[in-house]
């Protein structure tokens, strides 16, 4: 049981799942994650978005620690780690991405802290383990 | 555009009802709304109906609108199901209003219904995760409370909003809901208890979060010509606004407010020819405590960033300058997703007619309702005034 994201749907966005590929609008220069659909800033059609591979580094701009009521696909994770750090990261290239903290106590981190992306197991569905980017603390 | 009036409005009790079906709850709300009409009402004269529901649990995913209107004797009447997550019936209200304004209908029904409490915890979490953005936000482990917690973290950091400011929303709304016989959690909650509750999604605790509820609500709207025959105490819908925002928080330009609320409110104020300071009282979408604080700012009741001091001043208490959520709000009255929007309408209707019982505040002439879908993907705002135009 979980949010149903089929394997084909997951595979459509592997560049963004693994490498956080964002889009840069050819009309106005605004960035967007994931790189699909119309530009949020100027409404140029999605075809105007140029894919850009970011460094994977950025800053936490919103922060929460989930201690209960998690989506069922993450029950195993929360049973193992007690809590999930769910954050919004503003990448150094501009776009904001939602992400999960890893390799740290999520209570110890918050807005303004620097993080970097690393590929981890996200969850398993349809018998297929889904991997994607999580974020760990970065010491500059 | 033609003037439109709410001639009847009511809700079922919100709560946990294992012996009720989504149809029987809707029936209860509909019959109460009919009873609230002053004149002789013939349900066969309803021209059109709009029913909001998310369809939690999947008990009737398709045709869930006609499934409830047939139950109350509106078989044959055009009925459309509206889905905009938690803003479903606020938007259904706007659809009914628009139908009458356009001259398509003279009498239109707006309503909503949800059953949320009869499933396992896993099923409930499965369904409620989908009010946020699924492919990315949810896959980052973010719950629905988590999205609002993220907004709270940013609001607290940016504007100095405190734990106490958040808990004041819970204490106030529980105080109001304790006087509402239709409330799901109709008990008082002290500020201390609200502040010390266990964490759900830091910084939000249990008392920052509304419950999941079963319930239904209905508003019956009419054109001026018809309303003159049906009501002695008219409530006019003077302004309506609706806006969308990105479904995922991460794609929005701001995370300390809900841009769609600002947009919808601006339209509603302009239609009604009023400003925020002209609003006597409001029912706002307090699915989480931070949501009510952001609503104060986005609706223009106070300046951006000032919601914490604004609630601390007592301005939104029942005896304050602008009471908010006299019904108890989503926090205490409950939040059966599809039923919340027209449930807010029912409270405004009762307060303007002096029929709100123990929680009645006297002298109210102009009210506002504010209904949000998801974390701000859809918003409907309505303004109501007592009396004929």
- B35 close to A (CB below 8 A): no
pLDDT for B111: 98
Compute the distance between CA of residue B248 and CA of residue B270 in angstroms, rounded to an integer: 28
Domain ranges of chain A: 7-137
Domain-located, residue B170: no
Q: pLDDT per residue over B257-275, tens digit each?
A: 999 999 999 999 999 999 9
Domain count, chain B: 1
Q: Please state, in angstroms and rounded to a whole number, the distance separating the CA atoms of residues B89 and A8.
A: 34
Residue B298 placed within a domain:
yes
Share of chain B above pLDDT 90, in %: 92
The B residues from 136 to 175 touching A (CB cutoff 8 Å) are 136-143, 145-146, 149-154, 157
pLDDT in tens, B369-384: 999 999 999 999 999 9
- Scanning chain B, the segments in alpha helix (DSSP H) are 22-35, 64-69, 88-101, 121-129, 144-159, 163-177, 191-196, 224-230, 259-272, 289-298, 307-312, 329-333, 340-353
- ipTM of the predicted structure? 0.96
CA angle B253, B258, B260 (to 5 degrees): 95
CATH number at residue B330: 3.40.47.10
Interface contact A98, partner B, CB < 8 A:
yes
Query: What percent of chain A has a predicted confidence (pLDDT) above 90?
Result: 79
The SS3 call for residue B350 is helix
Query: What does B249-310 look like in DSSP terms, one character per residue?
Result: GGGSS-SSS-HHHHHHHHHHHHHHT--GGG--EEE---SBHHHHHHHHHHTTSS-TT-HHHH
Range of the domain at B354: 4-119+211-386
Q: What is the mean pLDDT of residues B205-220?
A: 97
User: What's the confidence (pLDDT) of residue A3?
Assistant: 64
Q: Looking at CA atoms only, how far is residue B204 from chain A in angstroms?
A: 9
Indicate the pLDDT class of residue B222, thresholds 50, 70 and 90.
Answer: very high
Min Cα distance A53 → chain B (Å) is: 18
Residue B141 to residue A71, Cβ atoms within 8 A: yes
Whether B135 sits inside 8 A of A13 (CB atoms) is yes
Chain B residues touching A65 at Cβ < 8 A: 199, 201-202
Q: Which residues contact A29 (CB under 8 A, 6 or more apart)?
A: none
The one catalytic residue in B86, B189, B210, B287 is: B86
In a domain, B287, yes or no: yes
A96 near B CB under 8 A = yes
């Amino acid at each position: 049981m979980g949010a149903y994201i089929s394997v084909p749907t997951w595979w459509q966005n592997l560049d963004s799942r693994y490498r956080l590929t964002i889009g840069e609008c050819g009309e106005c220069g605004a960035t967007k994650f994931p790189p699909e659909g119309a530009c949020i800033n100027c409404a140029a059609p999605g075809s105007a978005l140029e894919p850009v591979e970011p460094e994977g580094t950025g800053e936490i701009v919103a922060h929460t620690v989930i201690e209960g009521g998690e989506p069922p696909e993450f029950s195993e994770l929360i049973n193992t780690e007690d809590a999930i750090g769910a954050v919004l990261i503003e990448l150094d290239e501009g776009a904001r991405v939602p992400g999960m903290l890893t390799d740290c106590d999520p209570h110890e981190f918050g807005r303004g802290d620097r993080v970097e992306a690393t590929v981890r197991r996200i969850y398993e569905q349809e018998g297929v383990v889904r991997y994607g980017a999580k974020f760990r603390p970065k010491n500059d | 555009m033609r003037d439109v009036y709410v001639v009847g409005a009511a809700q079922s009790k919100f709560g946990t009802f294992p012996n009720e079906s989504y149809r029987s709850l809707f029936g209860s709300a509909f019959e109460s709304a009919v009873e609230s009409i002053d004149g002789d009402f013939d349900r066969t004269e309803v021209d059109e109906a709009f029913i909001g529901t998310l369809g939690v649990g999947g008990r009737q995913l398709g045709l869930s609108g006609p499934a409830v209107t047939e139950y109350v004797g509106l078989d044959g009447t055009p009925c459309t199901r509206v889905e905009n997550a938690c803003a479903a019936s606020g938007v259904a209200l706007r659809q009914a209003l628009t139908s009458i304004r356009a001259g398509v209908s003279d009498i239109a029904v707006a309503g909503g219904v949800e059953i949320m409490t009869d499933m396992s915890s896993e099923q409930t979490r499965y369904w409620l995760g989908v009010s946020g953005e699924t492919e990315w936000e949810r896959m980052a482990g973010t719950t629905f409370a988590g999205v609002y917690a993220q907004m709270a973290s940013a609001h607290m950091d940016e504007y100095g909003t405190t734990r106490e400011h958040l808990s004041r929303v819970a204490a106030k709304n529980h105080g109001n809901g304790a006087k509402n016989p239709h409330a799901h959690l109709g008990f008082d909650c002290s500020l201390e208890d609200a502040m010390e509750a266990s964490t759900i999604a830091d910084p939000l605790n249990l008392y920052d979060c509304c419950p999941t509820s079963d319930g239904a609500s209905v508003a019956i709207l009419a054109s001026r010509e018809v309303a003159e025959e049906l009501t002695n105490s008219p409530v006019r819908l003077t302004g309506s606004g609706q806006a969308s925002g990105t479904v995922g928080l991460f794609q929005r330009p701001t995370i300390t407010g809900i841009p769609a609320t600002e947009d919808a409110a601006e339209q509603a104020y302009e239609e009604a020819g009023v400003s925020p300071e002209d609003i006597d009282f409001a029912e706002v979408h307090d699915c989480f405590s931070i949501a009510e604080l952001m609503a104060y700012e986005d609706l223009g009741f106070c300046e951006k960033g000032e919601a914490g001091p604004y609630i601390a001043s007592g301005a939104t208490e029942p005896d304050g300058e602008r009471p908010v959520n006299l019904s108890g709000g989503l926090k205490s009255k409950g939040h059966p997703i599809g039923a919340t929007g027209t449930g807010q309408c029912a409270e405004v209707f009762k307060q303007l007619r002096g029929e709100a019982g123990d929680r009645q505040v006297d002298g109210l002439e102009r009210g506002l309702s504010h209904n949000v879908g998801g974390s701000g993907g859809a918003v409907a705002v309505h303004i109501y005034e007592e009396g004929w135009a």
